[in-house]
Amino acid sequence: MSSRKRYGLYLRIWLPGAALIILGSVFVLSASSIYGITITGNPVYYFEKHLIWLALGGIGVYLLNKTKIRHLEKYSFLLFVLSIIILPLPKFFGSLRWIRLGPLSFQPAELVKFTFIIYLADYLSKKKTEITNLKTLIVPILFLALITGILQMQKDIGTFVVIFFTFLLLIFLGGAKIKHIGIFTLTGILIFVGLILMFPYRIQRIKTYLNPSADIQGTGYQTLQSLIAIGSGGIKGKGLGSGDRKLKFLPEAHKDYIYAVVGEEMGFIGTSCVLALFALIVFSSLTISTLTSDNYIKFLTAGIGGLFGFQFLLHASVVLNIIPAKGTTLPFFSVGGSSFLINVLALGVLLNIARQVCFEESLDDFDDLIKI
């Protein structure tokens, strides 16, 4: 592979990643100012906290780029087990999903999303020749079931969906039999339906999704306001900072519905640009996954790309009322320190891998796979 193509592939992750962090930070400030004024009287309250997490993420990325991926592989299982141990801790601190860390808070479920990928990449790389045997997948399935159970203590179904689809992606890329993937998919759907039926508020969300206009001032209010925000932006949007739905009309505009703010202020062009940036990272990750001869890196890269892709699709689908509402952040955009930090660290690992694969591995046999 020529130096130009290597560098181009690396930039297809680095530039969209940097753009998403910068653009996301701008929208954190834009969407959260009214909430900051309401809660503390400080319009930049959430943005200041965001900058702290950004600094921590920057330090983390720097350290990750000084660390060999082999070290991450070596401690994959340990990191995963530790994340499972801390996953139920919010319950013991009187919170549903968060652990307070002084002025900041941390959501263990965000960490599990990432460490499950790290663990699964290690497990599948060691079991690749046995992946067609259903028994080989029992161990990760049991871990997935354990995580799912703990998440339901926290009433978190969004994290289950992201982890489950990432699991399906990796076993598919690993060469699992289609009939086994079909069995897991059907089982996952049944579990998902069961999780919905466990909680009445989830059943109500399904009803709202099917007919949001039935209660425009109640259960359907947030969905309708989201669609109004997206629609009112038109092609070019109202201008950065000029949206009015975030001014307490659209609940959770700075978190679970921030893509609607992007649509209102930057229009179809803006939402399409955000979509394109995520798509570049996802497909570039999958490309790198096909280029490397290292099985661990292959699975880890595809898993991180899938993590970004599934989170974006889930968030955008809720905002557009394609699927029923569920609390899912938009990576790099939504207010939420732990979510932002983990996504930045995941991006840092991806950049570390991209640098190694693009500039250190011998890729001469794959020259015609990259078209730049």
3-class DSSP assignment, residue 313: helix
- Give the per-residue pLDDT at 300: 96
pTM, to two decimals = 0.90
Rounded CA separation 309/26 (Å): 21
pLDDT-derived band at 2 (thresholds 50, 70, 90) equals low
Rounded CA separation 127/176 (Å): 11
Region 135-146 average pLDDT: 94
Handedness of CA 234, 239, 242, 248 (dihedral sign): positive
Q: Which residue has the higher pLDDT, 120 or 291?
A: 120
- Give the per-residue pLDDT at 317: 93
Q: What number of CA atoms fall less than 13 Å from residue 267's CA on the CB side?
A: 7
Rounded CA separation 207/28 (Å): 31
Handedness of CA 88, 89, 92, 97 (dihedral sign): negative
* Mean pLDDT comparison of 91-95, 168-172, 354-358, highest-scoring range: 168-172
